[in-house]
Protein backbone atom coordinates (compact mmCIF):
# COMPACT_ATOMS: atom_id res chain seq x y z
CA UNK A 1 0.00 0.00 0.00
CA UNK A 2 3.07 2.19 -0.09
CA UNK A 3 2.68 5.26 -2.32
CA UNK A 4 -1.16 5.21 -2.36
CA UNK A 5 -3.81 6.91 -0.28
CA UNK A 6 -5.58 3.67 0.60
CA UNK A 7 -8.04 4.07 -2.29
CA UNK A 8 -5.58 3.22 -5.04
CA UNK A 9 -4.73 6.80 -5.96
CA UNK A 10 -0.96 7.16 -6.32
CA UNK A 11 0.72 9.69 -4.08
CA UNK A 12 -2.33 10.21 -1.89
CA UNK A 13 -3.88 12.74 -4.34
CA UNK A 14 -7.41 13.17 -5.64
CA UNK A 15 -8.02 11.27 -8.86
CA UNK A 16 -10.48 13.94 -10.14
CA UNK A 17 -13.56 12.08 -11.36
CA UNK A 18 -12.94 8.35 -11.53
CA UNK A 19 -15.56 5.64 -11.30
CA UNK A 20 -15.21 5.61 -7.51
CA UNK A 21 -16.13 9.30 -7.33
CA UNK A 22 -19.21 8.77 -9.50
CA UNK A 23 -20.31 5.86 -7.29
CA UNK A 24 -19.75 7.92 -4.13
CA UNK A 25 -21.71 10.84 -5.59
CA UNK A 26 -24.63 8.55 -6.44
CA UNK A 27 -24.59 7.04 -2.93
CA UNK A 28 -24.62 10.54 -1.41
CA UNK A 29 -27.54 11.57 -3.64
CA UNK A 30 -29.51 8.49 -2.58
CA UNK A 31 -28.74 9.13 1.10
CA UNK A 32 -29.85 12.77 0.79
CA UNK A 33 -33.07 11.69 -0.96
CA UNK A 34 -33.88 9.35 1.94
CA UNK A 35 -32.64 11.45 4.88
CA UNK A 36 -33.56 14.95 3.66
CA UNK A 37 -36.02 14.69 0.76
CA UNK A 38 -37.24 17.74 -1.15
CA UNK A 39 -40.85 18.39 -0.04
CA UNK A 40 -43.40 17.54 -2.74
CA UNK A 41 -44.95 21.03 -2.49
CA UNK A 42 -41.57 22.72 -3.02
CA UNK A 43 -40.79 20.52 -6.01
CA UNK A 44 -44.20 21.35 -7.52
CA UNK A 45 -43.72 25.09 -6.95
CA UNK A 46 -40.34 24.89 -8.67
CA UNK A 47 -41.87 23.08 -11.64
CA UNK A 48 -44.75 25.58 -11.83
CA UNK A 49 -42.35 28.54 -11.64
CA UNK A 50 -40.34 27.08 -14.48
CA UNK A 51 -43.52 26.51 -16.50
CA UNK A 52 -44.17 30.27 -16.26
CA UNK A 53 -40.67 30.91 -17.59
CA UNK A 54 -40.89 32.91 -20.81
CA UNK A 55 -37.76 32.70 -22.94
CA UNK A 56 -38.60 35.89 -24.82
CA UNK A 57 -39.30 37.89 -21.66
CA UNK A 58 -36.87 40.34 -20.14
CA UNK A 59 -36.31 40.11 -16.40
CA UNK A 60 -37.24 43.18 -14.38
CA UNK A 61 -34.77 43.61 -11.55
CA UNK A 62 -36.03 44.41 -8.06
CA UNK A 63 -34.43 47.77 -7.25
CA UNK A 64 -36.39 48.66 -4.10
CA UNK A 65 -38.24 46.61 -1.49
CA UNK A 66 -39.53 48.46 1.58
CA UNK A 67 -39.07 45.31 3.68
CA UNK A 68 -35.33 45.53 3.03
CA UNK A 69 -34.61 49.12 1.98
CA UNK A 70 -37.35 51.07 3.77
CA UNK A 71 -37.07 52.98 6.99
CA UNK A 72 -39.52 52.19 9.79
CA UNK A 73 -42.27 54.76 10.32
CA UNK A 74 -43.23 55.51 13.89
CA UNK A 75 -46.84 54.70 14.76
CA UNK A 76 -47.46 52.61 11.63
CA UNK A 77 -47.82 48.93 12.42
CA UNK A 78 -49.02 47.60 9.06
CA UNK A 79 -47.30 49.72 6.43
CA UNK A 80 -47.89 48.59 2.83
CA UNK A 81 -45.01 46.90 1.06
CA UNK A 82 -43.52 49.04 -1.68
CA UNK A 83 -41.66 47.44 -4.58
CA UNK A 84 -39.88 48.92 -7.59
CA UNK A 85 -38.82 46.84 -10.58
CA UNK A 86 -36.71 48.08 -13.48
CA UNK A 87 -36.08 46.66 -16.95
CA UNK A 88 -34.11 49.07 -19.09
CA UNK A 89 -36.11 52.31 -19.34
CA UNK A 90 -39.28 50.71 -17.96
CA UNK A 91 -40.11 50.96 -14.24
CA UNK A 92 -42.94 49.26 -12.38
CA UNK A 93 -43.85 50.62 -8.94
CA UNK A 94 -46.11 48.37 -6.86
CA UNK A 95 -47.75 48.79 -3.46
CA UNK A 96 -48.86 45.50 -1.89
CA UNK A 97 -51.60 45.98 0.72
CA UNK A 98 -54.06 43.72 2.52
CA UNK A 99 -56.65 44.81 -0.08
CA UNK A 100 -54.59 44.02 -3.19
CA UNK A 101 -52.09 45.70 -5.51
CA UNK A 102 -51.81 49.32 -6.60
CA UNK A 103 -49.16 50.42 -9.02
CA UNK A 104 -47.94 52.30 -12.03
CA UNK A 105 -45.89 51.53 -15.12
CA UNK A 106 -43.43 54.27 -16.08
CA UNK A 107 -43.17 55.72 -18.64
CA UNK A 108 -46.99 55.71 -18.64
CA UNK A 109 -48.46 53.34 -21.21
CA UNK A 110 -51.19 50.81 -21.72
CA UNK A 111 -50.16 47.27 -20.83
CA UNK A 112 -51.47 44.01 -19.52
CA UNK A 113 -50.21 42.66 -16.20
CA UNK A 114 -50.64 39.15 -14.93
CA UNK A 115 -50.04 38.34 -11.28
CA UNK A 116 -48.37 34.94 -11.25
CA UNK A 117 -48.87 32.95 -8.09
CA UNK A 118 -48.75 29.44 -6.67
CA UNK A 119 -49.62 26.40 -8.69
CA UNK A 120 -51.02 27.56 -12.03
CA UNK A 121 -52.53 30.77 -10.65
CA UNK A 122 -52.64 33.71 -13.05
CA UNK A 123 -54.72 36.81 -12.31
CA UNK A 124 -54.95 39.47 -15.04
CA UNK A 125 -54.81 43.16 -14.06
CA UNK A 126 -55.64 45.95 -16.50
CA UNK A 127 -53.41 48.99 -16.92
CA UNK A 128 -54.87 52.32 -18.05
CA UNK A 129 -53.31 54.84 -20.48
CA UNK A 130 -51.51 56.56 -17.58
CA UNK A 131 -49.87 53.27 -16.60
CA UNK A 132 -51.93 52.85 -13.40
CA UNK A 133 -53.25 49.50 -12.24
CA UNK A 134 -55.04 47.92 -9.29
CA UNK A 135 -55.56 44.31 -8.34
CA UNK A 136 -58.45 43.37 -6.10
CA UNK A 137 -56.69 40.43 -4.45
CA UNK A 138 -53.41 40.53 -2.51
CA UNK A 139 -50.85 37.94 -3.59
CA UNK A 140 -50.40 34.99 -1.24
CA UNK A 141 -47.16 33.02 -1.19
CA UNK A 142 -44.63 33.38 -3.98
CA UNK A 143 -45.63 35.78 -6.75
CA UNK A 144 -44.25 37.58 -9.78
CA UNK A 145 -45.66 40.00 -12.34
CA UNK A 146 -45.67 39.47 -16.11
CA UNK A 147 -46.08 42.72 -18.04
CA UNK A 148 -47.00 42.74 -21.73
CA UNK A 149 -46.63 46.12 -23.43
CA UNK A 150 -47.50 44.96 -26.93
CA UNK A 151 -43.89 45.11 -28.10
CA UNK A 152 -42.24 43.15 -25.29
CA UNK A 153 -42.86 40.91 -22.30
CA UNK A 154 -41.22 41.65 -18.97
CA UNK A 155 -41.31 39.35 -15.94
CA UNK A 156 -40.37 40.45 -12.42
CA UNK A 157 -38.34 38.46 -9.94
CA UNK A 158 -40.33 36.06 -7.77
CA UNK A 159 -41.03 37.35 -4.26
CA UNK A 160 -42.84 36.02 -1.23
CA UNK A 161 -45.90 38.06 -0.23
pLDDT, average across residues 69-78? 68
Q: pLDDT at position 11, please?
A: 47
Task: Report the C-alpha dihedral over residues 106, 53, 142, 132, rounded to 10 degrees.
Answer: 20
For residue 56, pLDDT over 90 is answered with no
Average pLDDT, the chain: 80
Q: List the single range of 46-60, 71-85, 134-148 with lowest mean pLDDT.
A: 46-60
Q: pLDDT at position 62, please?
A: 94
Q: Report pLDDT digits (tens) over 96-125.
A: 988 889 999 999 998 999 888 866 677 888
Rounded to 5°, the CA angle 33-161-86 comes to 105
DSSP assignments along 127-158, one per residue: E-TTSEEEESS---SEEEEEEE-SS-EEEEPP
**134 with 102: CB under 8 angstroms?**
yes
Q: List the single range of 81-85, 116-120, 122-126, 131-135 with lowest mean pLDDT.
A: 116-120
Sign of the Cα pseudo-torsion (149, 152, 156, 161, in order): positive
CA dist., res. 14 & res. 5, Å (int): 9
Name the strand (E) or helix (H) holding 104. Answer: strand 100-106
Task: Report the C-alpha dihedral over residues 17, 22, 24, 28, rounded to 10 degrees.
Answer: 120
pTM of this structure: 0.62
Q: Report pLDDT digits (tens) over 1-47.
A: 444 445 544 544 455 557 888 899 999 988 888 888 888 888 777 76
Residue 86 pLDDT level (bands cut at 50, 70, 90): very high
Half-sphere exposure of 60 (CA within 13 A, CB side): 25
Amino acid sequence: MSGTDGHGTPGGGFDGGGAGDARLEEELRQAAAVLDPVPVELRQLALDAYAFHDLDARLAELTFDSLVDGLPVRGVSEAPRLLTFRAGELTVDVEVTADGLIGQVLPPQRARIEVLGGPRTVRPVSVDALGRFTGEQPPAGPFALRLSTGTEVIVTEWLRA
